[in-house]
Structure 1
Amino acid sequence: MKHTLIFLIAMIAFAACGEDNVPVNLEPRLSVSGATDITRTEATLRGTVALRGNTDMPGLRFVYGDDGGATMQVEAFADNGSVSSRITGLTPGTQYTFYLQAYNDRTTINSGTMTFTTIPNDKPTMGELTILSHGPASAIVRYTITDDGGEEITETGCYVTCASDGETYKVVTTLPGNDGTYKVRIGELRQNTTYELKAFASNKEGETVGEALSFTTGNAVTLTEPGVLRSLMGDNLYAYRSLSFAGPMNGDDLACLRSMAGIDTDGSATQGQLIHIDMADVSIVAGGGSYAESRYTEDNVIGYGMFAGCSKLESIVMPDNVTVIERDALRDCASLTSLTIPASVEEITPSSGCAALAEIQVSPANSHYRSDGGALFNADATALVWFPMGKEGDYTLPITVMSIDDYAFTGCKITSLTLPDELTDIGHSAFYGCELEEIHMPDKLRQIPVGVFQDCRRLSTVYLGTDTELVSDYAFDGCPLLHLYLSASYPPVCRPDAFGRSSDEIFSTCVLHVPSNRLAMYKQDSEWGQFKNIVGF
Structure 2
Amino acid sequence: MKTKFYILLLLITMPLFVACSSDDDGDGEESGIATRFTPSQESTKYFANGIDFGANSSEQTVTFTTNKRWTASSTESWCTITPGKGSANDGTMTIKVSENKSYENREAVVTLKTGELNNYITVRQGGAGTAKLYVYPAGTLEQQLGNDYENIKELILTGELNGTDFKFLKEKMYNIEGLDISEARIVSGGDSYMFNGTEEIYTETDKVTDSLLGGFTKAKSIKLPASITSIGTGALSGCQELTSIDIPQGVTSIGDMAFAGCYNLSSVNIPETVTKIGKSAFSICIHLTKIKLPEGVTKLSDGLFANCSDLKDITYSFKLDSIESSAFYGCTSLEKIIIPKSVKFLSWLAWSGCTNLKTLEYHSEKIWWTNNTGCHNVSNIIIGNEVQEIELWAFRGYKALQTLTIPANVKKLKSQIFYGCNMETLYMEATTPPETDGCLCTDDMDYSTHTNAMSKCTLYVPRGAKAAYEAVGCPWTDFKEIVEY
Tell me the TM-score normalized by structure 2.
0.49
State the TM-score, normalizing by the size of structure 1.
Answer: 0.45
Q: Which has the higher strand share?
A: 1
Of structures 1 and 2, the larger Rg is shown by 1
